[in-house]
Amino acid sequence: MKVKVISRSTDVFLRETKQQIHKVFRNYDPDLHPFETAREYTRALNAVKLERVFAKPFLGNLDGHRDSVSCIAKHPKQLSTIVSGAFDGEVRIWDIPRRVCLRQFVAHNGIVRGITYTPKGLKFITVGDDKTVKTWNAAEPQLGEDEEPVNTVLSKTVITAISHHRQKAIFATAGEVVQLWEESRNEPLRTYQWGVDSLHDIAFNMVEANIFAACASDRSIILYDTRDNGPLRKVVMKLRPNKMAWNPMEAFTFTCANEDYNLYTFDTRNLNKPVNVHMDHVAAVTSVEYAPTGKEFVAGSYDKTIRIFECDHGHSRDVYHTKRMQRLTCVHWSLDNKFIISGSDEMNIRIWKARASEKLGPLRPKERNALQYAEALKCKFASHPEIKRIKRHRHVPKHVYNAQRELRTIKEKEKRKEANKRAHSRKGTVPHVPERQKHIIKEVQ
């Protein structure tokens, strides 16, 4: 007779001293882990609820400006530094982690229209309504020295925007005409004109660094090349694009923030039809900027909200708002992909988390694993109605809510009217126009 029964000795299964952690024994036999799917679903539901519970994106604000913030520039090398310009001509340099203003001075007579850092971050250049382009040292002046620009250039025309080349010491300005400048010269290298009376935004491509584009007041976006004498191409839209941003990872993609409440992502190779139309704002979109990953972008609008979009999605992933935040003038995505900086009409600069429920600071391995597991579960059960509903639900201010409803009825009405028209006309006289083509007038070579 041979016999063996289960007999567990406690010293194998219990920890020896209280300083040790508890011993863990695993057995992955599926029979010991019943209701796998139902439990995973419950965990996913909890995870998605917790995500909404922890969604507290607002981190803090930088106040000090005495007029609305007009523009902001990020330091290309330091995450903690930004410089902002205001409508009263004042420029301030901020330390974000401490939330203090490091320097402040009046740079221009009139509105500061644009700011940009030089690629190494040693200097920054401002343009203002006084037709001047001023270069400033990024380092604080010595004790007793006055705040003086390193260089001041008086332009012949009004300047409303500025953008710096990614590597070279050249920058471009927009205004009555587009001008290309060398940092060390006081005359523009080149001037571009295409029968337009004014341009209001300009941006250099970050991958194909010689390409840049500008938004013009004739509702067009014009592409330029620094190596060329004239502009390349333009696309004319039904309503004015306010601002544009290049995708930092895809050279040929850019997004423009439009007056018609939408954002349009274009492929430069085919401008007569946008790749995607991003809807959700309920007022003119005033600013847009890409995340450094190139997968998402943030848009600020006249409807007092910030929305975050995924590049390939037509609707926003998140919306940020506060009671006191007014019309947005500029938004930026920090270079570590974690924060969003917004400047608005009521003189404040705000700092937000890029992912509303993300935990900041270092994570313990266990914590990280748990979060990754939750993320995977949410992804797995994303299409379940309950989970989808909770994940999508956002509270928006009353005016936005009402405006959304109004827009919806307007759109429904238009759709219905078109359908009626189509039903009562000869076949083919009222064609279906896709949403992507509705807002474009033409592409001009």
Partner 1 sequence: MARIRTPKKSVNKTQKAGNKPEEKVQNLRVNKGSKKYNLPKELVEKYAKGNGVNLKKVHTKIHKKKIEEKEKQIKFAAQVAAQTEVLLTEQEGHLEAGDGETTTQFTQSEIREHVDLTAAAKTFELKLEFGPYRSKYTRNGRHLVIGGRKGHVAAFDWVTKRLHCEMNVMESVHDVSFLHVETMFAVAQKNWVYFYDNQGIELHCVKRLNKVTRLEFLPYHFLLTSCSDEGYLSWLDVSLGQIVSQVNTKLGRLSMLTHNPWNACLCLGHAKGVVSMWSPNSREPLAKMLCHKAPLTAVHVDPSGMYMATAATNSEVKIFDVRKLEGPVQEYKLISSAGHVAFSQKKMLALGMGNIVEIYRDCCTQAAKRPYLRHRLNSSIGNFNFCPYEDVLGVTTAKGFTSLLVPGSGEPNFDTYEVNLFQSKKQRQEAEVKALLEKIQPEFITLDPFAIAEVDTPTLADKLEAKNKLLHLKPPKVKYEAKNKAKGKGGSANMARNKKIVQEAATKEFVKASRQLQPAEKTKPQPYHVLNRFA
Residues that bind partner 1 (CB under 8 A): 1-10, 12-14, 22-35, 37-39, 41-43, 46, 380-381, 383-384
Name the residue nearer to partner 1 (CB basis): 12 or 139.
Answer: 12
Name the residue nearer to partner 1 (CB basis): 37 or 429.
Answer: 37
| Chain Cα centroid distance, residue 418 | 35
Which residues lie closer than 8 Å to 338 by C-beta, 6 or more apart? 353, 354, 355, 358, 360
Name the residue nearer to partner 1 (CB basis): 37 or 445.
Answer: 37
Beta pairing class for 440-444 and 233-237:
antiparallel
Q: Alpha-carbon Rg of the chain, whole angstroms?
A: 27
Nearest approach in angstroms of CB 88 to partner 1 is: 52
On the 0-12 / 13-18 / 19+ scale of CB atoms within 10 A, 372 is exposed
Could you give the angle at which helices 36-53 and 385-392 cross, rounded to 10 degrees?
A: 10
What would the 3-class secondary structure string for 205-232 be? CCCCCCEEEEEECCCEEEEEECCCCCCC
CA-to-CA distance for 205 and 27, rounded, in angstroms?
Answer: 55
Name the residue nearer to partner 1 (CB basis): 28 or 424.
Answer: 28
Name the residue nearer to partner 1 (CB basis): 42 or 167.
Answer: 42
Name the residue nearer to partner 1 (CB basis): 148 or 375.
Answer: 375
Nearest approach in angstroms of CB 337 to partner 1 is: 24
Q: Quick one: which H or E segment has residue 390?
A: helix 385-392
DSSP 315: B
DSSP 433: -
Nearest approach in angstroms of CB 329 to partner 1 is: 39
Longest dimension (CA), the chain: 108
Name the residue nearer to partner 1 (CB basis): 103 or 384.
Answer: 384
CA-to-CA distance for 344 and 325, rounded, in angstroms?
Answer: 7
Name the residue nearer to partner 1 (CB basis): 35 or 323.
Answer: 35
The amino acid sitting at 346 is: E
Nearest approach in angstroms of CB 22 to partner 1 is: 7
Nearest approach in angstroms of CB 27 to partner 1 is: 4
Nearest approach in angstroms of CB 89 to partner 1 is: 52
Q: Are 209 and 219 in contact (CB under 8 A)?
A: no
Nearest approach in angstroms of CB 68 to partner 1 is: 45
Nearest approach in angstroms of CB 311 to partner 1 is: 16
